[in-house]
Chain A
Amino acid sequence: MSTRNVVLHVADVHKNFGGLRALSDVDLQVEEGTVHAIIGPNGAGKSTLLNVCVGRIKPDRGSVIFDGEALDNHQPHEINQLGVSRVFQTPEIFADLSLLENVMIPAFASRDGSFRFNTIAAVSGQKDVRESAEHALEDVGLLERRHVEAGSLSRGDKRRLELAMCLVQNPRLLLLDEPTAGMSRHDTNSTIELLKRIKSRGMTKVIIEHDMQVVFSLADKISVLAQGRIIADGSPDEVRANPKVKEAYLGEVQE
């Protein structure tokens, strides 16, 4: 496992908000095809780290390198076109469009690029896009409701929809920001199942999660972030055994 390519390299990233240090010298290497979990107590800088990766926040120092390319001066859409998709903490979907349209739009983005003045074709004639969108909806179990307006979905279903929107793009790197937050136990379990199923597709994933069950059942590698620093890095077993982690984080959880 150790000889794999590094897909995402967060190189010595530093970020201050006002006087508050959000990230300091964070160095992280995500290997191709792995599920890499980032855990840490609230306010540890997890979401900031993810935002830096997709170009939403510019780091003060250091850079994020995706597949050999520094992402520093890239717009969000350019980062996506390179093959990075993201699921947000609060689902970002097209609330007044149907589920099918919600998933077709990202499919168009991967097929046609960041801009294409395509007014000649009709959406209804784009069989390939429609099929891949339906396929993605089937993956997350929402195919039957493809004509429903997305805004009417439950929160858990919105998350699954957003996941489908990312999966349809077949990204090289999928960033998941607490994919099970606010879900019932049942929904959480089915999401874990879903993520396990798509794990075999060789898509690299970075996942931020609070729920230890999710983390330990999915992750190949775990990095622990506390107060803007990475305090531990390794396989689930290594991290579980690390005394620093127990002290900073796991200790609280396991009572």
Chain B
Amino acid sequence: MMFANLSRNDWLLLVGFSVVVLAGPIILQPLGAAYPALMQKFCIYGIFALGFNILFGLTGYLSFGHAAFLGVGSYAAMWSFKLFTMNVIPAILFAMVFACLFALIIGYVSLRRSGIYFSILTLAFAQMSYNLAYSVLTPLTNGETGLQLSRQDPRVIDAMFGSPGPGLPRASLFGVDISGGGYPGFYLCAVALIVCFFFAMRIFRSPFGMMLRGIKSNQNRMRYTGFNTRPYLLSAFVISGLYAGLAGALMAATDPLVGAERMQWTASGEVVLMTILGGAGTLVGPILGAGVIKYFENIFSSFSDRTLHGFFSFLPESLQDPVVSFFSLFVGDGWNLTLGVVFMLIVIFLPGGIMEGLRRAWNLVNRKGDGGDAVPVGQTQPAE
């Protein structure tokens, strides 16, 4: 039933996507990114951005507080690890339930307004969560130190099946260790990403998704056309909150230290950036954006002046120093600067993101000389 009405193109896309994700360790080899700790990060942020895109890309509602759901998911998963079991499945369920409830409340209130007011409301809620996580909610979040596992945790379900071994327990999937950046962790995240992609694709192709795009295009018309837009928006908001909760749970499972900075509004800004960079409103774009950002973050932030000197050693001595000191602005600690510059360039020159760039390049190659006007909309869909 779920698979019955996928079109042939969608099947190809889904299969192609799955192959690419699962073959990540091979495909990313030449890029030097084929180690599981990094690849699972791609997947986790891919899920986060994919969900954010269901809200922002389809409805046009720009939430500046989505990191709150990620944080709630992480904390909930962590408590599941601490109280019940190190198995990741209950942790994920727990995280999604809490993120869903949280999104339901915040969305219900925030969606009473639109445009910039909506952005500010979501921002206000996220900042409240962040501030509270740092102050009064310390018993739940362990404040600045961050929530982590401890040998003293009850873990009631695990305790029923025997006493814990020495050392800190590790998150697992029915006995398979998934924390600590091994392949099992990556494959768990990869499968989660593929499942999430599948559901996102269903939403994009469904009447529901069409109505969301209608809301983005002309909400007023939607109302006079007989649609109650609020439940549509709230559903989209909660779905994207669920995605964020799942991403948060996976994050907690693979790196068992949860800090409140995960909820800060700069973290919300990051997912906005990923979505925009890849291409808001496209299916694959946000995942691509997440991957690109996390990949370059990994490379750039590990650069030091030494590496740069090595890079520019072909230059004469007199040029080398100024060039290196200029580029050192953008690497290492300066990675955020690169991020900001890229962000601006994308918004200014390529608001459609990478996907738009690819589409333009494709058009350029495919029909030179064709004026390119009146592109039929129906035909541009496969580019997603």
Direct contact of A and B (CB under 8 A): yes
A105 located at the interface, meaning its Cβ lies under 8 Å from any Cβ of chain B in the complex: yes
* A125 on the B face (CB < 8 A): yes
A124 at the interface (CB under 8 A from B): yes
Q: In the complex, what residues of A have CB within 8 A of residue B377's CB?
A: 97-98, 101, 147-149
Interface residues of B in 181-227 (CB under 8 A from A): 199, 202-203, 205-211, 213-214, 217-218, 220-227
A123 to chain B, nearest CB (A): 5
Q: Across the interface, which residues of B come within 8 angstroms of A123, CB to CB?
A: 205-207, 209-210
Contact between A122 and B225, CB atoms less than 8 A apart? no
**Listed residue (A77, A93, A152) with the most chain B CB atoms within 10 angstroms of its CB:** A77
- Mask: chain A, 144-178; 1 = CB below 8 Å from B; 0 = not: 00111100100000000000010001000000000
Most buried by A among B2, B207, B232: B207
Task: Determine the chain A residues whose CB is within 8 A of the CB of B374 once the complex forms.
Answer: 148-149, 152
Task: Give CA–CA (A129, B207) in the complex, Å.
Answer: 10
A222-235 vs B: 1/0 string, CB under 8 Å? 00000000000000
Q: Does A33 contact B (CB under 8 A)?
A: no
Q: How far is the CA of A148 from the CA of B222 in the complex (A)?
A: 20
Cβ-defined contact, B217 with A97, below 8 A: yes
Interface residues of B in 1-55 (CB under 8 A from A): 1-2, 5-7, 10
Q: Which of A14-22, A107-115, A191-199, A200-208 contacts B (4 or more CB under 8 A)?
A: A107-115
Q: Does B231 contact A (CB under 8 A)?
A: yes
When distances are taken between beta carbons in the complex, the residues of chain B under 8 Å from A85 are 224-225
Residues of B with C-beta under 8 A to A1: none
Is A114 in contact with B218, judged by CB distance below 8 angstroms?
A: no
A140 at the interface (CB under 8 A from B): no
Contact A112 B207 (CB under 8 A): yes
Closest B residue to A82 by beta carbon equals B226
| Chain B CB within 8 A of A119 CB | yes
- Asked whether any CB of chain A lies closer than 8 Å to the CB of B235, the reply is yes
A92: Cβ under 8 A from any B Cβ: yes
- In the bound assembly, the distance between CA atoms of A97 and B199 in angstroms comes to 22
Q: How far is the CA of A101 from the CA of B212 in the complex (A)?
A: 12
Q: Which residue of A lies closest to B210 (CB)?
A: A123
A122–B206 CB distance below 8 A? yes
Structural contact, B210 and A108, CB atoms closer than 8 A: yes
The answer to whether B206 touches A95 (Cβ under 8 A) is no
Q: Which of A54, A85, A109, A146 has the most CB of B within 10 A?
A: A109
Q: Is the CB of B210 within 8 A of A105?
A: yes
Known: A106-B226, A114-B226, A165-B225. A125 touches B376 (CB 8 A): no
Q: Which of A75, A85, A122 lies at the interface centre, i.e. has the most chain B CB atoms within 10 A of its CB?
A: A122
Q: Taking the complex as formed, is A80 at the interface, i.e. its CB lies under 8 A from any CB of chain B?
A: yes
What residues on B are CB-neighbors of A115 within 8 Å?
227-228, 231-232
Residues of A within 8 A of B152 (CB): none
Nearest B residue to A165, CB-CB: B225
Instruction: Check A132 for interface membership: any CB of B closer than 8 A.
Output: no
Chain B residues positioned under 8 Å from A39 (CB to CB) = none
Quick check: A77 and B2 within 8 Å, CB to CB? no
B378 interface residue (CB < 8 Å to A): yes
Q: B163 to chain A: which residues have CB within 8 Å?
A: none
Tell me if A119 and B208 are in contact (CB < 8 A). yes
**B268 to nearest A CB, angstroms?**
25
Residues of A within 8 A of B208 (CB): 116-119
Q: Is residue A104 contacting chain B, with contact meaning CB distance below 8 A?
A: yes
B231 CB contacts on chain A under 8 angstroms: 115, 117
Contacts of B229 in A (CB 8 A): 77
B150 lies within 8 A of chain A by Cβ: no
Measured CA separation A95–B221 after assembly (Å): 11
B318 in the interface, Cβ–Cβ < 8 Å? no
Knowing A98-B378, A122-B5, say if A75 contacts B220 (CB, 8 Å). Answer: no
- Are the CB atoms of A169 and B226 closer together than 8 Å? yes
Give the residue name and chain of the B residue nearest to A166 (CB): B225
Residue of B10, B209, B378 with most partner-chain A CB within 10 A: B378
The chain B residue with its CB closest to the CB of A99 is B377
Is B366 engaged at the interface, CB distance under 8 Å to the other chain? no
| Inter-subunit contact B227/A95 (CB<8 Å) | no
1/0 per residue B275-288: CB within 8 Å of A? 00000000000000
Of all chain A residues, which has the CB nearest B376?
A147
> In the bound complex, do residue A86 and residue B217 qualify as a contact, i.e. CB atoms below 8 Å apart?
no
Residues of chain A within 8 A of B1, CB atoms compared = 120
- Nearest chain B residue, comparing its CB with the CB of A92: B221
Whole-angstrom distance between the alpha carbons of A250 and B41 in the complex? 73
* Bound Cα distance A149, B211 (Å): 17
Task: Name the CB-closest residue of B to A83.
Answer: B226
Residue of B nearest to A149 (CB): B377
Complex alpha-carbon distance, A109 and B250, angstroms: 38
Residues of chain A within 8 A of B209, CB atoms compared: 119, 123
Name the contact of B220 in the complex, choosing from A80, A92, A152 (C-beta under 8 A).
Answer: A92
- Distance between Cα atoms of A233 and B6 in the complex (Å): 56
- Complex Cα distance A122/B201, Å? 10
Contacts of A100 in B (CB 8 A): 378
Chain B residues at the A interface, C-beta cutoff of 8 Å: 1-2, 5-7, 10, 199, 202-203, 205-211, 213-214, 217-218, 220-229, 231-232, 235, 374-379
Taking A77-B222, A77-B228, A152-B374 as given, write out 12 further A-B residue pairs in contact, using a Cβ cutoff of 8 Å, ordered by the A residue number.
A94-B218, A98-B377, A106-B226, A109-B226, A115-B227, A117-B231, A120-B2, A120-B202, A121-B207, A122-B7, A122-B10, A122-B202
Can you show 21 pairs from A to B with CB atoms below 8 A apart?
A54-B224, A75-B228, A76-B223, A80-B225, A81-B226, A92-B224, A95-B218, A96-B217, A97-B217, A98-B376, A101-B213, A105-B211, A108-B207, A112-B207, A117-B235, A119-B203, A119-B209, A120-B202, A147-B377, A148-B376, A149-B377
In the A-B complex, the 7 residue pairs with the smallest Cβ-Cβ separation, listed nearest first, are A80-B226, A109-B226, A147-B378, A98-B377, A94-B217, A147-B376, A114-B228
